Structure formats: C-alpha cells, structure tokens
Amino acid sequence: MSNRNYLNANYNVWSWFFTTDHKRVAILYLISITVFFLVGGAAAVLFRLELMTPEGDLVLPETYNRLFTLHGIVMIFFFLIPAVPAVFGNFLLPMMIGARDLAFPKLNLASWYLYSLSGLFGVWVILTGGVDTGWTFYTPYSTTYGNTSVLSAAIAAFIAGFSSILTALNFLVTTHTMRAPGMTWFRLPLFVWAHYAMSLVVLLGTPVLAIAIALVGIERAFHVGIFDPKLGGDPLLFQHLFWFYSHPAVYIMVLPAMGVISELITCFARKKIFGYTFIAFSSLAIAVLGFLVWGHHMFVSGQSMYAGFVFSFLSMLVAVPSAVKVFNWTATLYKGSVIWNTPMLYALGFIGLFTMGGLTGLFLATLGVDVHVHDTYFVVAHFHYIMVGGSLMAYLGALHFWWPKMTGRLYPEGWGRISAILIFFGFNLTFFPQFVLGYLGMPRRYHVYPEEWQILNVMSSAGASILGVGYLLPLGYLVWSLRYGRRSGKNPWRASGLEWEAESPPITHNFHKTPIVTGDVYDYDPTEPVELETEKHPEKVTVQ
C-alpha cells in the first residue's frame, strides 16, 4: 500500500480548511452533519420524554414547540439533505466516474463554508431562544404572530439552500463532462444516476424555497406585506411556494439513498442489478413527478377541490417508479449469493421500511383518507419511515460500506450487526405506533394529548430510546476503528466500481492513472466464491 493518501498528504490544519479535495470536503461534511445529527437527536429525546405522559409536565409548551422546530430544521436542512450527497456523493461521485475531482472544487469547498455559515445562524437561533414556527414556517404565524428568532432561522435555511445548490451544480456538471474514457451513461453506477436526478431537483427546487423563505424574512424584518391577509395577501401562496420545493426535498433526501441501496444490494448479493435502465430512469421519473405533486400537502388548506383531484392523481403516479425500484432490488437477490453483513442489513432494512413508507404515502395521496390523517401522527410516522427508515438507514449502510475506503480501516463487524438490528427494531417500535395514533386522530405538534393515547406514546418513546442507543453505537465503534481497526485493502468487499480500484484511503487525485472503462457496471458473478476482508482471521467466520 502506498503511504501517501488524501488524509496524510498534509497535516496542517489549514490544509483542511482550504482544501479543494472532494474527499476532504466530504470529511468536513461528515463531521459537521454528525454534530447536527446529535443536536437534532437530543431535541427528539427531550420531546419523546415529554410525550411519555399526557400532561405537559417536563417542558413548557413554548419549549416543546422550539424543540420540535429545532428537530425539524436541523434534521432536514443540516442533516438529511446534505447527508448522503455531501458526504458520499462528494467523496464517491468523482471516483465512480473515474475523475480526479469534481468540476468545481472551490465551489465545493464554498458549499461547505456556506453550510457552516448557515449552521452558525442555526446555533445563533438556538442561543437567542430558538424558533417555534415548525420547520414549515407557515405564514402568517411566521411573519406576524410568532415572536421567536424566525428571521435568523429563515436566513439559516436560505444559506443552507445555496450550499446544496452548489453541491448539485457540481454533481450535474461533473457527471456530464468528466466521465473517464469508456464510462458511458449506461455504465454509470446507479449511485451516480440517483445523484444526477437529485441534482436536477435541487437546482430547480431550492431557489423557490429560497425566495419563499426570503419573502418571509423580508415581510418579517421590514413589516411589509407579501402574504399578509390583512392587506389582501394570500397565506396559501406561501404554502404553494414552500411545498413546490419541500415536497421535491423529500426526493432530494431519498434519491441519493436509493443510489446507495443499489450499490449495497449488488455487492452483497454478488449480482448484476436487476433492471438497470428501469432503476436509472425511475430516478429521473421521480425527480420530474416530484415537482408536480406539491399540492397534496394542501388538501384541507382551502385549496379548491379540483386542485385536490389533480394533485391526488399526480401523487399516485409517484408510486410507480418507487415500486419499480423496490421490485428490482428484491429481484436482484434472486439467484444471488447473499452475504448478511452490516451494510446489507441496512440495505435490506431500507427496502422493507421504504416500502412501508411509500405505501403509507399512498394513504396520504388518497383524498378521502388524507382529510382525516392530514397533520396527525400518521403523517409523522409516514415521513419518518421514508426519511429515517429510508434515508438514514441508507446513510448508515453507506457509512459502513465505504468506511474502509474513506479511512483505510475496517469497522468491527459484530458491533455493526448489533447496532443495525437495534436500529431496525427500535425504529419500528418508535414509529409504528404513530400510524395508529394518527388514525386515532392525534394531531402532530401537540405537547399534551388525551390520556387514552398514552400507551402508544410510551411505546414510541421506548422505541426512541432503543433507537438512540442504536445510533450512538456506530459513533463509538467507528471512532474506535480509526485507531484500532484493522487496515483495509483496496477492495475489502471485492466490490465492482472504480472507487475500489483506488487505494484505501485514496491518493489526492484518486487514481494513479486515469482508469479506462471497458466493461459493464456491477460485474458480479454469484457463482464465484468470495471472501471479504472483514471475515479474515480475527473474527471466526466460516468461509465457503
């Protein structure tokens, strides 16, 4: 193994803060989003504790409102949206296509600085007493009636938006222009296709959120009317602008996760992906359809009934590409050689949970049922199945899968499996009762509730504590592995893909020589015996 790599190329602190290496930027992001994940998680712990009892006995209502707002803003803008793209997209996308870096390395670094600046505004919001509008910033509460740090929070979201635009711009251009010789579009890993689709969504959606949030900030700061009903303005206009971005934002969070799953499933089923083109185009279909369904957040908002029909119909269509993906992943297991290790546990968990999240999404697209479950815990459970059961599971799967590539170390496999299983069961115990609560009618964002719902809430809180342990474990053993983990070779999983041809960790410009691609993607043969590096001597595993 060569001694020089991107990590030890330079030990100077400034070489990190001024780095333009996509891999180092990815590491900067990894550290930052982990911090925010802990902040958002701490808020969740507090309000799950509060919800153990029907009375509001732990925190004041204003504190509770700040907690769920903090949880929403931090988890969405500072964790989920950057999680897979800004860490793994940044690290892997250039390597997967055989490039030396992203097209605009300085912009990539700038995106991290914008993210950090936005994070500082977020911290400022917390220090100045928090914000209580919910992450949705609905007017006129956010513009006129709320008296918390809405403006700083709006600025934070605005800047975070720019950060993700710069990342997406980089991915789009890099994928178009910097593929290695022989890397045709249909030889791209599905991870790249997913990031390409995500980039389109970010580029076309984020600016609309930016202007909606900017208008809220302007209305609030200068007391002018934009959405003010007292002047004849329309509070629903804000909701339209907001959801025009924020529904596609769901796909921003889940498309890259889907890309991760395609990589993990193929590697640990030792199979070519089933239906490559269908999965690739379903990503694009989701990206396009995602822009046409925002109105399904507004079925009971006062939007016309006919708009409801149109948005319900279009929302149903999103089920098709999502189902196509799930079936193709499942079919990929058929006749494979399935290895049940940590990344695969996360990937299979993803498929199950995403299936449930997607199917319960159909409940919300179904007009007659949505009227009842809108703004209840049913919605909360649904989007956590998509974003936590989906995106976060994929993120953790990716973290384990590419950890040896990023750090040159192997994580302890046994601990990995334990935490994956804990997370899976903790997750279901946390969020499944919320479907029931939602259909019973428990509105979201309530810090007190009728006592007949306590048992289900206690179940949910108990699940959350298991989930919390499940999340802390990887933090512990991954950090441990940085020093004590076994060294990893170039390709510990015997995976296909150009990133595995680079050193672990890779050198500064990724490859010693620009790779030339001659074969198809996912060139796995399930009949071939394989031994993973995690299975060598220290752990006792039977190898066939």
SS3 of 226, please? Answer: coil
Is 77 within 8 Å of 112 (Cβ atoms)? no
Between 228 and 501, CB nearer to other proteins: 228
The DSSP output letter for 59 is S
Q: How far is the CB of 441 from other proteins (least distance, A)?
A: 3
Q: Which residue has the tokens 């997913």?
A: 194
For the CB of residue 293, give the shortest distance to other proteins in the complex, in Å.
12
Q: Which residue, 46 or 478, has its beta carbon nearer to other proteins?
A: 46
- Nearer to other proteins by Cβ, of 372 and 487: the residue is 372
Do the beta carbons of residue 400 and residue 346 sit within 8 Å? yes
How far apart are CB 355 and other proteins at their closest, in Å?
5
- Decide: 78 and 40 in contact? Cβ < 8 Å: yes
Measured on CA atoms in the order 424, 427, 431, 433, is the torsion positive or negative? positive
For the CB of residue 299, give the shortest distance to other proteins in the complex, in Å: 8
Distances (CA, A) of 234 to 196, 206, 321, 407, 421: 35, 22, 34, 52, 48
Rounded CA separation 155/121 (Å): 7
Angle between helices 61-73 and 22-50 (to 10 degrees): 150
Q: Could you identify the residue written with the tokens 């712990």?
A: 45
Query: Do residues 124 and 209 lie in contact, with contact meaning Cβ atoms separated by under 8 Å?
Result: no
Task: Please say which residue, 397 or 485, places its beta carbon nearer to other proteins.
Answer: 397
Q: 38 or 236: whose CB is closer to other proteins? A: 236
**Minimum separation from the CB atom of position 31 to other proteins (A):** 24
The count of residues in the chain is 544
Q: 204: helix, coil or strand?
A: helix
Provide, rounded to whole angstroms, the least separation between the CB of residue 480 and other proteins.
27
8 A C-beta contact, residue 458 and residue 147: no
Question: In angstroms, what is the minimal distance from the CB of 11 to other proteins?
Answer: 21
Minimum distance of other proteins from residue 18's CB (angstroms) = 15
Pick the closer one to other proteins by CB: 56 or 489: 56
The pair of structure tokens assigned to 379 is 């919605």
CB of 56 to other proteins, least distance (A): 7
Helix, strand, or coil (residue 272)? coil
Q: Which C-beta is closer to other proteins: that of 37 or that of 137?
A: 137
Q: Is 281 exposed, middle or buried (0-12, 13-18, 19+ CB in 10 A)?
A: middle
Least separation in angstroms between CB 166 and other proteins = 9
Q: Which is nearer to other proteins, 87 or 347 (CB)?
A: 347
Unique residue bearing structure tokens 């990815």: 26
Which C-beta is closer to other proteins: that of 308 or that of 426? 308
With CA atoms as reference, report the closest residue to 515 among 525, 501, 503, 505. 501
From residue 541, how far is each of 353, 418, 532, 536 by CA, in Å? 29, 16, 10, 8
Measured from the CB atom, the residue of 376 and 491 that comes closer to other proteins is 376
* Residue at 389: amino acid letter: G
Q: Which is nearer to other proteins, 32 or 355 (CB)?
A: 355
Residue 468 C-beta: closest distance to other proteins, Å: 24
Residue pair 502/94 in contact by the 8 Å Cβ criterion: no
Contact 238, 208 (CB under 8 A): no
